[in-house]
């Protein structure tokens, strides 16, 4: 009984649920982060996407258990190893999908639609998309963007277009990196093709180019987001060195062939993990105490701003009017990040 329970938990891959933290982006960077209702809605959105993700993982193991049996590490998965029968995996997948979608219908209509599209996208990926070169990684990246958009829809805030593009290109970078890891782990193209047909059409040279392109665009769009006049967290630009190091460190680690993918790198590579923790702490500090911290930072002129000496003196009346407008917008839920 205990072994079956452990196998069922393993089937749901709880370690992979960390990917769903993207739904919290709207809460962290939006104007409603101090509202208890928004916090509860974000937690509900996270739980729903964990249920849907678990349903997809169970369905994926059901579909791929024969191919997984050829992989040096995936052969230990519950269905591939025989710990869970295909029928049980299918029943668990269906149950989780029903519960997750039923719960999503209790949220906003937009969130429920995005959640349904997320589930449909992943089913398409599992059945067909994962066999299409390059498109496989694009579909995965779109799934991460859907997580971020759903988080915004759950608490009804707007999303920065730059942040959406940054999320998409960053996930492309991580996805192509995972393909590079799989090639390195499987050692040769014959074994790679036996495990995943698309791996036979990927090669280290192509993946290196794709990693360089997507990684470069991800960093660029991150900078554009931090420098956007509409962004209220301009001090984030000071975290750029950490972003560059994380990108370069990830590229270095996957070239070694010692990790199986992004999650494995995050959990087991200490330099990358410490960098991620440091960036998270600094980002939260800037989000929560940005105006106070900015007083101690070098004054920077961001795109769209006049030089400091040419800026007009603040008008108390105008500031009061703007504050009143912001208050009315916030009451309508017209907030953005």
Per residue in 45-68, pLDDT tens? Answer: 999 999 999 999 999 999 999 888
Indicate whether 268 and 175 sit together in one domain: yes
Residue 241 lies in a domain: yes
Of the three residues 120, 140, 158, the one that is the final residue of a domain is 158
Q: Which stretch, 103-107, 208-212, 237-241, has highest mean pLDDT? A: 103-107
Residue 315 lies in a domain: no
Structure tokens at 169: 């290109």
Indicate whether 31 and 139 sit together in one domain: yes
Indicate whether 152 and 38 sit together in one domain: yes
The residue whose two tokens read 């360089």 is: 212
What pLDDT sits at residue 298? 86
Indicate whether 229 and 150 sit together in one domain: no
Give the percent of the chain with pLDDT over 70: 87
What pLDDT sits at residue 2? 82
Per residue in 287-310, pLDDT tens? Answer: 888 888 888 888 877 777 777 667
Indicate whether 168 and 139 sit together in one domain: no
Residue 309 lies in a domain: no
pLDDT at 28 over 50: yes
Residue 152 lies in a domain: yes
Average pLDDT over residues 272-283: 95
Of the three residues 118, 141, 158, the one that is the final residue of a domain is 158
What pLDDT sits at residue 31? 84
Indicate whether 175 and 198 sit together in one domain: yes
Q: Which CATH number does the domain housing residue 111 bear? A: 1.10.357.140
Residue 336 lies in a domain: no
Residue 48 lies in a domain: yes
CA distance 137 to 126: 12
Indicate whether 149 and 228 sit together in one domain: no
Of the three residues 125, 158, 191, the one that is the final residue of a domain is 158
What pLDDT sits at residue 334? 42
Measuring CA to CA, how many Å separate 187 from each of 33, 72, 80, 268, 308?
46, 11, 21, 21, 57
Indicate whether 34 and 61 sit together in one domain: yes
The number of distinct structural domains making up the chain is 2
- Give residue 324's pLDDT band: very low, low, confident or very high (50, 70, 90): very low
Indicate whether 142 and 24 sit together in one domain: yes
- Residue-number span of the structural domain to which 46 is assigned: 13-158
Indicate whether 136 and 176 sit together in one domain: no
Per residue in 135-176, pLDDT tens? Answer: 999 999 999 999 999 999 999 999 889 989 999 999 999 999
pLDDT at 279 over 70: yes
Indicate whether 143 and 27 sit together in one domain: yes
- Give residue 320's pLDDT band: very low, low, confident or very high (50, 70, 90): very low
Indicate whether 145 and 167 sit together in one domain: no
Region of residue 304 (phi > 0: left; psi between -120 and 50: alpha; otherwise: beta) = left
Residue 332 lies in a domain: no
Residue 308 lies in a domain: no
Residue 54 has, within 13 A of its CA and on its CB side, a CA count of: 25
């Amino acid at each position: 009984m205990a072994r079956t329970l452990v196998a069922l938990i393993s089937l749901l891959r709880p370690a992979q649920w960390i990917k769903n933290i993207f739904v919290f982006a709207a809460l962290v960077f939006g104007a409603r982060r101090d509202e208890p209702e928004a916090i509860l809605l974000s937690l509900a959105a996270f739980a729903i996407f964990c249920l849907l993700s678990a349903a997809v993982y169970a369905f994926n193991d059901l579909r791929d258990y024969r191919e997984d049996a050829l992989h040096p590490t995936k052969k230990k998965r519950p269905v591939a190893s025989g710990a869970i029968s295909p029928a049980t995996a299918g029943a668990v997948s269906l149950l989780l999908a029903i519960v997750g979608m039923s719960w999503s219908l209790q949220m906003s209509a937009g969130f429920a639609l995005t959640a349904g599209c997320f589930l449909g996208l992943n089913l398409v990926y599992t059945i067909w998309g994962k066999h299409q070169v390059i498109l496989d990684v694009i579909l995965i990246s779109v799934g991460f963007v859907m997580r971020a958009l759903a988080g915004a829809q759950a608490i009804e805030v707007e999303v920065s277009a730059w942040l959406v593009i940054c999320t998409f290109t960053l996930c492309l970078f991580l996805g192509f990196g995972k393909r590079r890891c799989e090639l390195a782990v499987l050692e040769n193209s014959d074994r790679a093709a036996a495990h995943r047909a698309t791996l036979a059409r990927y090669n280290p040279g192509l993946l290196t180019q794709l990693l360089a392109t997507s990684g470069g665009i991800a960093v660029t769009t991150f900078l554009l987001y931090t420098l956007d006049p509409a962004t209220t967290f301009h001090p984030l630009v000071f975290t750029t060195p950490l972003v560059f190091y994380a990108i370069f460190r990830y590229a270095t680690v996957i070239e070694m062939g010692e990790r199986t993918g992004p999650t494995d790198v995050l959990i087991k590579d200490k330099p990358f993990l410490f960098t991620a923790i440091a960036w998270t702490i600094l980002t939260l500090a800037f989000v929560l105490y940005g105006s106070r911290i900015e007083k101690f930072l070098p004054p920077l002129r961001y795109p769209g701003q006049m030089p400091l000496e040419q800026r007009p003196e603040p008008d108390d009346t105008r500031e009061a009017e703007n504050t009143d407008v912001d208050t009315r917008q916030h009451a309508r839920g017209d907030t953005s990040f």
